[in-house]
Structure 1
């Protein structure tokens, strides 16, 4: 058992950064995933009025070969209630983390402590900046603003209203939209990574890490990975789907990408229409996706009839060298 009031970084206590009194911290393991999910859900329910987090998404992220939760997570428990997770932090990627404090435990200094933990953990990994997404105007947003964290970009979750449909698009001659084959996994990864790295400041994600979050995600079924192919049956567009939601009836487009030279031909809209239609065919009558200000795609989705259901900001802090 670690000494109360000490932070851990990679399993090493840091006596110079004490926790708020009455708490202790420890790295997390995969056995803590249900507790982390419940904690994040409580925060989202309080701040948004609904829950977005899925344990399957966390499990997929933590199963990436490059991710070691013993080095890149922290959980906080009250000394009076050991085993009760009331706050957690995670450095999921070099410059991006996630933080959560149970609403009943806000105001105790845990949010400030976690923000410092995230900054120091990112610094130890060589990052020059680190950020985290928070609902716009939420207590976490106000706290990070007070701590001097700036807004790097905005993001939105959008939903397709019940019974609405994304208008179908006629595909170019010889093109098709279908489920991906097993032998097309690397081609799908290449399309997604090439597209996302046009605007995202990060290293290329290894195929094994990407696959862990797609075909390795708990509950994955073959119809969840959709592709658009050209006249040579080569993958030129990809849609990655997940399913879940409070009632298990939501299909979420987690990733959508089209090769640069094939854009402007309706393939993204065709993939969306296909994704939502497939979701409904499998009993998922709600459809959602997210986008952010770096992509410039918000207007496109709104013109297709989707509506914003939550507004987020990615707040970040520059790390002194």
Structure 2
């Protein structure tokens, strides 16, 4: 049996707030907290009510144990944190925010403590489910992401023992320029993404990204978050198939944030995922998919094509994107901290 998690040091959550897990009744308050914070911090993307509805339905990361919300005496949500983890994953991902009016008083530090405690517990739970005889769980790791301009987050993470382990570039490509030439091999065909391709593309994605740093296989639930994303645009997404076998060779899955366009001042077609299976690489498939995305975005009235890329991507993606006319406009970072495990 695993030792009682209460033996771990409890995080110092601010006593001015009432703390509990998120529930369906909290949707408006939760979304309102995130929106108020985003209005001040101006992130490129943030969770909205429809995203939170998806989160509330997760079976792999149930909100009852993997979220926490802090409410002031008037019942206004002022802070939240959440972790997610794949059962076999080597890390948990953390996220959250503190109402700007309540920042600078230690609430963020308390939320980090809660995320770390919950990460240790998740690793212990998953190890117990896999092997009840194990003497100790693997070393838990918590990963946090932030945009470069959010210096207050960087100070909090660094002061709490986190280290930057990866950089990412957000890249834009104006759509008022000519689309680069890209010709598809005649043995391949380009089709529009749709429900019949949900599972084949999931399997192709897991295959294509098995050699990418930090990537973990997407199970059916995790893939559902992709294809059922409120901002998903299958009509702007393309899939390349092998004509002889029907095998998915590559894919470009797009989203569009209509609300964000109003605040950012431009309409953006965003490539959420782009991948090519190893056995099909070197045949110009990524270029074809990107050129196709640009045409689809432009026809839909978008101003720019955009995407994010790992600055150390092993496939040379950054060089490809620059060749296709994309340029960096923003940078974000991944921070990691290795935690002490819950002993058994």
Normalising TM by the smaller chain, what interval?
0.7 to 0.9
User: Partner residue of 1:153?
Assistant: 166
1:173-215, Cα deviation, whole Å (9 max, x unpaired): 22222213433221100111122232244652212330x2233
| Correspondence 1:272 to 2:290 | yes
Q: Secondary structure at the match of 1:272?
A: helix
- 1:96/1:50 Cα in 2 relative to 1: closer, same or farther (>3 Å)? closer
The 10-residue stretch of structure 1 (100-109 or 196-205) with the greater mean CA deviation from structure 2? 196-205
Contact 2:21 2:67 in 1 (8 A): yes
| Correspondence 1:302 to 2:294 | no
TM-score between the two structures when normalised by the length of structure 1: 0.85
| Count of residues paired in the alignment | 307
TM-score between the two structures when normalised by the length of structure 2: 0.79
- 1:261/1:293 Cα in 2 relative to 1: closer, same or farther (>3 Å)? same
**Aligned equivalents of 1:91, 1:105: Cα separation in 2:** 21
User: Partner residue of 1:314?
Assistant: 334
| Of 76, 81, 84, the match for 1:92 | 84
Structure 2 unmatched ranges of 5 or more: 87-91, 124-138
- 1:266/1:285 Cα in 2 relative to 1: closer, same or farther (>3 Å)? same
Alignment of structure 1 residues 1-321 onto 2, 5 Å: 16-47=10-41, 49=42, 51-55=44-48, 56-79=50-73, 81-82=74-75, 84-94=76-86, 95-126=92-123, 128-136=140-148, 138-201=151-214, 203-210=216-223, 212-218=224-230, 220=232, 222-232=234-244, 233-245=246-258, 246-247=260-261, 249-296=267-314, 297-321=317-341
Contact 2:268 2:302 in 1 (8 A): yes
**Aligned equivalents of 2:233, 2:307: Cα separation in 1:** 18
Contact 1:226 1:275 in 2 (8 A): yes
Contact 2:234 2:253 in 1 (8 A): no
- 1:37/1:178 Cα in 2 relative to 1: closer, same or farther (>3 Å)? farther
Contact 1:59 1:218 in 2 (8 A): no
**Aligned equivalents of 1:290, 1:87: Cα separation in 2:** 28
The 10-residue stretch of structure 1 (254-263 or 200-209) with the greater mean CA deviation from structure 2? 200-209
**Aligned equivalents of 1:139, 1:180: Cα separation in 2:** 40
After superposition, the CA RMSD in angstroms is 2.7
Shift of 1:221: 5.1
**Aligned equivalents of 1:197, 1:164: Cα separation in 2:** 34
**Aligned equivalents of 1:229, 1:190: Cα separation in 2:** 13
- 1:38/1:165 Cα in 2 relative to 1: closer, same or farther (>3 Å)? farther
The 10-residue stretch of structure 1 (50-59 or 234-243) with the greater mean CA deviation from structure 2? 50-59
Shift of 1:92: 2.3
